[in-house]
Structure 1
């Protein structure tokens, strides 16, 4: 006759919290065969089960954060979960919600707690049943919650009347973004509807600054948020950075028996990368992050053909946002099923906590987007007690006499090494903050009007700004903002002062796309001498005289037509184009660039570098020493002056605009500013900046032609848009200090 362990803990060992769970929840834990609660689950029970305060649960990927939140929540709901939705789970992806639905349905089935999904793929019948008999736990995306406000505004008070908890998964994915600001507003509007606070629980595996995260979770009261952090689950890390030389087409070697006509045109290094991926990953389950959709398709196709040549079933499948939902879900299900070897070549789509099961390793092709992103990706490996395995593949240009200085410095390799070194010290970027988010304020104001059928300006300011997530917006700015929306016919005003939707506002709100606060990066058409060169997504600032790299050539910007999404170009001066991957404005943190300088100046060889990567690092350091970059930060090479501020993208971008304002032509290449002209002119401009003190950030934006980067920025008055752009992407104090350092 079998018996359960004592209720103090699944294994009978001492536990300070297990006994506080409902007996049925304890029984579910036993049936899972758990020997003990994990660290984050143990510390989460007390603050969540009390149900009186906001909590952040931060722990490594696959540490059981979902159960950490819902074991105590379900213990509260087990006796009675009816009458209203009692808990809301908000996830960033529909696929993640589907995964969590399966996990929670298993837990809640024996507790009598209903679990509901609500997103665009859920049938109207399921949604109607929830509205008729609200109960249990609701799993929803921010966009679907937005739709609830607009379509079911009058019913929300009863739908959520007994709401006890709101859980936000992947909290780090929201902080500092338009979507995150939308989420903050929606949470605030839920509490305005209920006329009371609802405890919030944030879940994340990557939070660089817990205090900033707490302030995001509960704006204005972050110091009251309970922070629960667990380092358990971090085991052994196996790490390798593999270096490759990217050959020019004329230097490419053909395989035996191959001629130019039979070649597929891929540079040899990409064949080499693919060959190592095929040899190393074949027969197992892995994720390959390839940064861009184009690279995902390139490597997925290359690896598929390698399977065919080896007369093997294909084991490599693409996974990115442009693929149909069916193809993505089919690939995810195949990897999770473990019935055959499956490797997914993906973009950021699989950084989130979509459950694809444990994978043997992570491969990263190209420079990681950030340390935090790398940490998030790495968390997919090393589950169930095994080591986490990361292989990073880095391509650098074959050097010639005409190679640009950034290529000689192997900046892509050194930036990757710097990120890995910071990862090993457990540092990662803090969440972004400081933006005004006027684009999302447009959306939330229109949503608020649609929810109530109209709203007074003072009430809107109080709800959204004074006590809401747009607290940086003053009353004066809000009035200016409203007038701008009125001029663009988003708003109208009745005789009693009530704000109503205008002609354009009604059209925007009635579109399905309105529910999302964010928009994908828009494609701009590139034109030279009246001929269209192609299109490319523009996620960096453009101004007349700056440069673009496209089609293997460098182009100078002549004009930007923002409304038509057209960039007029002319060929830039001849010269080899450096290998460069744009990370977007504000993408690289100051700390990463400081670490890059330390890598250049050091002499240690990281153990994780392969032989080729060691050669490339040695070349980078030799160039750094040859140019005396440990003693100086401005050098002249050919017709260009190179400035090395060793600072993050916000500082580099601000310096570029400051030099542009002085009449200089500037090109930003990662950590380097390349300026046409004499070194004395560049130094003079920097001395002027230092003498005048930090510039007004908004004044610098007059040179930026595409400030309207967010979804509704086109409706925001120009001066407010400039202020928001400056807050997001510029660092005038940092640039002023960097200019002083550069001139020393």
Structure 2
């Protein structure tokens, strides 16, 4: 790795306040990293919008805050404040501790603000709005709603807005909410504020600039770390599932097993857990199964391996349904360095919480996306000279005469290998930024009305659309939206034209769930001896005496209080993980294209084991035998299938359009299947090719489940259709595919 110049040779170092220089020397730094070197000059004047993109643990926080804090110190006679916005409370807590150590020496207050912070600590900032305020979008929304008339005074000292993990917001409901909130902050202070975006995963910098500063994107200074990349070591292991009868038998054994009874050794999960136990013990690692259910299962299996060998447990579950205490236990085990620890986790440990150095990153099943895989891998190989290690485990079904095409093409294994190959090519999915997100517009309308004690329609249009974040909304749709909000009693209008909260709107605004732009399922709380363990979705209540695995340990349900939504449990010797509902990620077109390229090749894959290679060879033989390099439509018995090699947004749209023209079909990942003959399929594709992609009302007339986002229920039908299509479908690509098949 090429090191940047030492601090003594750095021109940027000289721009820092002397107290910060002393802190750097005390920390033992011998040089500034390249991103820090560039960021100091760009940020110290508080006159530029800046994006800092660098790998995990590359010093992005310091790159931003060393010059920002210097700016505050350079103006001691003028109170100064910084608004730091993070997607996670845990990341705020982490930064609170991290920045606090530096800012304590500078006499600059650092205030964390979210639901777990006491009112007394928050009052410190309200009384004297100076220093660094660390906050989530939801808590910032709550400030606008509850302290609307005081927001100008509260933020009058702001010098910067810092957005951490910028990539986590782009293209989402929270991202649109964040854009609107940043604009509203500038409205209450009456001036533009320098915006600073921090991220480890950014591909298209123009897109990132447009998100951070939609109306001044051309002036954003982009700083990308040029430090040499890490060495990457990869191993993919393949497993064949046992027949279904063996799986059911093994599940019965697991549910009734005591601690000293052997588990089903036919299960690939048993073999994977044994291998993980062998290669991970004695070091710090992260293991990413694809669901909270699998997190619980593997955490339990690995803990039992430790108990079997009479060694201390090194394996800790971590997911969003666990209590704060249990999550913090896992985080402390990972970052303390006292003993080896492995986190079995969902995406909760994917973002930038400091958990120290990680040796292995493990993916069980297909990664959600290449971007997610890249983010996770950034945790590994952080020490100089140490490689990043990725271990992936893929489970496939045994082939029989009745195996479907998805199994014969080994879709899970091939997708995993394709994503890893794209990762090594430095490609990852760009966020989908074309979403209208009209649901979030509803929330922002109600929020501004609450903040200002009422607002007129022209004021809402100007703040939110004309000058705001919702630029894709047309005026006619906005007028129709306000009428619909009135009809649903979310708002009401005085004779003067002032819009106020309606009967239902008042109730919803005053509920704590209002501040979030996305909806959360109701949940049961799990409690043992008065201590909370976490929560489960309310759609999956447990029965008395049922035995479960939760928090990596085994419990028996003692009581279920449906009224209070509390499940009381006690330690048990058996159980199975409860089922957590969840949606898989949408696969990008580029991933499916790489899958096709992989199947068309004949050379061995260098980073997979023998079993995985044998499975890949089977898939390649199927691919070649069916001529899938040249054709997209297959007739197998009474089933006709389309293999489009398109991503899920386009495939879902194609399936929907085929149904719209009268061909009953179903989509399943890579494939679209129908019982029609090939001539009927070709007829249907001709009909799809002739459709008008802009006629959304007609094309989506039969879709029943368009309400996907929190406030979709409040949208007029015309705007709901536009919002749904912009977020969930790629109709243009689907129609283009149909045209290509009919030429």
| Counterpart-to-counterpart distance in 1, 2:603 and 2:592 | 18
State the secondary structure of the residue aligned to 1:323: coil
Residue 156 of structure 1 pairs with residue 155 of structure 2? no
- Summarize the Cα distance change of 1:111–1:357 in structure 2 as closer, same or farther, 3 Å threshold: same
- The equivalent of 2:706 in structure 1 is 707
State the secondary structure of the residue aligned to 1:702: coil
Contact 2:209 2:217 (C-alpha < 8 Å) held by counterparts: yes
Deviation of 1:446 (Å) = 0.7
Aligned CA-pair RMSD: 2.3
Contact 1:90 1:140 (C-alpha < 8 Å) held by counterparts: yes
Contact 1:358 1:382 (C-alpha < 8 Å) held by counterparts: yes
| Counterpart-to-counterpart distance in 2, 1:174 and 1:514 | 19
Deviation of 1:267 (Å) = 5.2
| Counterpart-to-counterpart distance in 2, 1:81 and 1:585 | 51
- Summarize the Cα distance change of 1:456–1:691 in structure 2 as closer, same or farther, 3 Å threshold: closer
- Summarize the Cα distance change of 1:379–1:82 in structure 2 as closer, same or farther, 3 Å threshold: farther
- Summarize the Cα distance change of 1:584–1:698 in structure 2 as closer, same or farther, 3 Å threshold: farther
What do the CA deviations read for 1:187-211 (whole angstroms, capped 9, x no partner)?
0000000110000000000012111
| Counterpart-to-counterpart distance in 2, 1:636 and 1:266 | 39
- Summarize the Cα distance change of 1:450–1:266 in structure 2 as closer, same or farther, 3 Å threshold: farther
Superposition TM-score, scaled by structure 1 size: 0.88
- The equivalent of 1:577 in structure 2 is none
- The equivalent of 2:352 in structure 1 is 353
State the secondary structure of the residue aligned to 2:197: strand
Contact 1:585 1:653 (C-alpha < 8 Å) held by counterparts: no
- The equivalent of 2:662 in structure 1 is 663
| Counterpart-to-counterpart distance in 1, 2:435 and 2:275 | 43
Deviation of 1:664 (Å) = 2.3
- For residues 87-486 of structure 1, the aligned pairs below 5 Å read 87-232=82-227, 234-251=229-246, 264=263, 268-385=267-384, 386-486=386-486
Select which of 23, 42, 46 maps to 1:28.
23
Deviates most, 107-116 or 56-65 = 107-116
- The equivalent of 2:678 in structure 1 is 679
| Counterpart-to-counterpart distance in 2, 1:140 and 1:118 | 5
State the secondary structure of the residue aligned to 2:495: coil
| Counterpart-to-counterpart distance in 2, 1:138 and 1:403 | 57
- The equivalent of 2:614 in structure 1 is 615
Deviation of 1:83 (Å) = 6.3
Deviation of 1:81 (Å) = 5.8
Deviates most, 76-85 or 178-187 = 76-85
Deviation of 1:680 (Å) = 1.3
Contact 1:84 1:161 (C-alpha < 8 Å) held by counterparts: no
State the secondary structure of the residue aligned to 1:683: helix
Deviation of 1:417 (Å) = 1.0
| Counterpart-to-counterpart distance in 1, 2:265 and 2:739 | 45
| Counterpart-to-counterpart distance in 2, 1:478 and 1:406 | 44
- The equivalent of 1:515 in structure 2 is 515
| Counterpart-to-counterpart distance in 2, 1:582 and 1:443 | 26
Deviates most, 156-165 or 509-518 = 156-165
- Summarize the Cα distance change of 1:81–1:203 in structure 2 as closer, same or farther, 3 Å threshold: farther
Superposition TM-score, scaled by structure 2 size: 0.88
| Counterpart-to-counterpart distance in 1, 2:388 and 2:370 | 16
Contact 1:63 1:233 (C-alpha < 8 Å) held by counterparts: no
State the secondary structure of the residue aligned to 1:28: helix
- For residues 506-585 of structure 1, the aligned pairs below 5 Å read 506-520=506-520
State the secondary structure of the residue aligned to 1:78: helix
Contact 2:661 2:687 (C-alpha < 8 Å) held by counterparts: no
- Summarize the Cα distance change of 1:499–1:695 in structure 2 as closer, same or farther, 3 Å threshold: closer
What do the CA deviations read for 1:520-575 (whole angstroms, capped 9, x no partner)?
4789xxxxxxxxxx9689xxxxxxxxxxxxxxxxxxxxxxxxxxxxxxxxxxxxxx
| Counterpart-to-counterpart distance in 1, 2:249 and 2:469 | 59
Contact 1:632 1:742 (C-alpha < 8 Å) held by counterparts: no
Contact 1:249 1:267 (C-alpha < 8 Å) held by counterparts: no
State the secondary structure of the residue aligned to 1:703: coil
| Counterpart-to-counterpart distance in 2, 1:583 and 1:419 | 21
Structure 2 portions without partners, runs of 5+: 524-537, 542-579
Contact 1:296 1:318 (C-alpha < 8 Å) held by counterparts: yes
State the secondary structure of the residue aligned to 2:484: helix
| Counterpart-to-counterpart distance in 2, 1:696 and 1:278 | 55
Deviates most, 339-348 or 682-691 = 682-691
- Summarize the Cα distance change of 1:451–1:237 in structure 2 as closer, same or farther, 3 Å threshold: same
Count of residue pairs brought into register by the alignment: 681
State the secondary structure of the residue aligned to 1:518: coil
Contact 1:288 1:363 (C-alpha < 8 Å) held by counterparts: yes
Contact 1:92 1:142 (C-alpha < 8 Å) held by counterparts: yes
| Counterpart-to-counterpart distance in 2, 1:195 and 1:603 | 63
Structure 1 portions without partners, runs of 5+: 1-7, 524-533, 538-580
